[in-house]
Structure formats: structure tokens, C-alpha cells
Amino acid sequence: MIFMDQMRREVSLPSVPKRIVSLVPSQTELLHDLGLDEEVVGITKFCVHPEVWYKEKIRIGGTKDFKVEEIRKLQPDLIIANKEENDKERLEILMAEFPVWVSDVKTYEDALGMIRGLGLVLDRIDEAEELVSKIARLKPEINRPLKKCTYLIWKKPYMTIGGDTFISNMLECAGFENVFKSSNRYPQVTLEQLRQTETEYILLSSEPYPFATQHLEELETKTRKKVLLVDGEAFSWYGSRILESWEYFTNLEVLIGGEN
């Protein structure tokens, strides 16, 4: 059987995979929710959902520094990876030895396509389609103009997100407009830039940098902007986590509405 991944690569599989290694935290959670408990044999140290898998499954390193030799020992018949999250050179080594299905998720629609694609590859078509339908049905409606925001993912230096990222697209789903949407990837920003932009809200993500209350207070003082701590998983995890994102965005909308 030949399948096409989101990089437009052909992935050849002789049968439905029975030994899967996942190198992507949000896709690991998706595999669990598709009912692939026995099939998944390896995950990364950042695959914290579900907790039972984090405790019981073999961990093969991080998303960038995954251990090729440890993966070889597991003899997977499918490796699930992501263009942005995983190291390209190490992936290419694995591609020479094992089938590797690579996702490329920059929008909410890409995420739905990824779910359908993995459902097809893993013979979970009905389960994947049911999940996609539920995500689409429960997507929150924002009935107000978008609030201009800057979403920070790092400190020293401060880094934000460009318009070509999944996070930027999810911001729109949550009722925000990314002030830096004309930029690509993850540009650095200064406090002076933050002061001078039309930003109404600075959103401090819980990951990858662990922003906390002291950072919120510091930025409010230095920029004179409204600053909120937000759940990074809600904005950056694609897959079944999106269902929880919708609930989180709805609660965030109530909070934003209460400030106006």
C-alpha cells in the first residue's frame, strides 16, 4: 500500500502498521485517542499526553535529538514525524531504513488533513472522521472584531510567531489577530517594538518558555499593554487536543469580554 504524507512523499507500507514510533507529542496523543495503545512502541520525552503512555512507553529522546539507535532497536514498521518539530538530518537517516510519515501543519485545516491522513494509514478511518467531524462541529464562533495580539514563545531574546505558523492560525480561531502575521517563522522582538505596535494583548505562552506571573507583571510595566498567561498546548498542539483548545478559547473569550 502506498500513502502520501503531508510533504507529498510516497510512504510504502506492506500492511497496517503494528509497531509505531511517534516523534511528535501532539500526534502521540492523537494515536492514543484513535485507539492505538498496543501498536505504539516508542515516543519522545515530550510526549506527556496521555500520562499513562509517558510512564509506560519507551522514550527515545527528544523531538530534535531523538536517538536513532534506540529507534532501530524497536524495529518500527512506521515512524510518525513532523517537518518542523523533528531534526531533518536524523529523519533522513531513518527514512533510509523505515517508512516515515511526515506531517506539515500550518493551519487548522492542515490539522484536520493530518488526522484524516493518519486515520487512513493506520486503518482508523471511521475513528479519524468522527474526530474531525466533532472538531469542526464544536469550533467556537467569535462574534466580535479580532483583538490585535503578540504571542510570545521565548524570553532572552523575546520571540514571537509569524503568520506562517499553526499558532498564528489558531490565534484567529481564538479571536485574535497576530500583529506579526507578515513575518515568517519565529522572529525576535524588542520591548520597544512591543510598545510601538498596535498590540492590545500580549499573550505569554506556557511553552516552550515557561512564562509565569513575574514575567506578566514585568511586561505590563515595561510595555503598558494588557498581558495574559495562556496555555501553549491550546494554541500549538494539533490533533485531538484541538477539542480541548475550543473549550479553552471559549473560556478565554469570556475573560476577554469581561475586561471590555
pLDDT digits (tens, 9 = 90+) for 146-171: 999 999 999 999 999 999 999 999 99
Question: Mean pLDDT across the stretch 56-71?
Answer: 97
Q: Give the mean pLDDT of the chain.
A: 95
- The pLDDT score that the predictor gives to residue 254 is 78
| pLDDT of 143 | 85
Is residue 258's pLDDT more than 70? no
Q: What is the pLDDT of residue 209?
A: 96
> DSSP letter string over 10-77?
EEE-SSS-SSEEE--HHHHHHHHHTT-TTTEEEE-TT--SSHHHHHHSEE---SSS--HHHHHHH--S
pLDDT of residue 256: 78
Q: What tens digit of pLDDT does each residue of 212-241 get?
A: 999 999 999 999 999 999 999 999 999 999
Task: Spell out the domains of the chain, with CATH numbers in brackets.
Answer: 2-137 (3.40.50.1980), 147-259 (3.40.50.1980)
pLDDT of 259 strictly over 80: no
Q: Is the pLDDT of residue 100 over 80?
A: yes
CA distance 198 to 18: 51
pLDDT at 78 over 60: yes
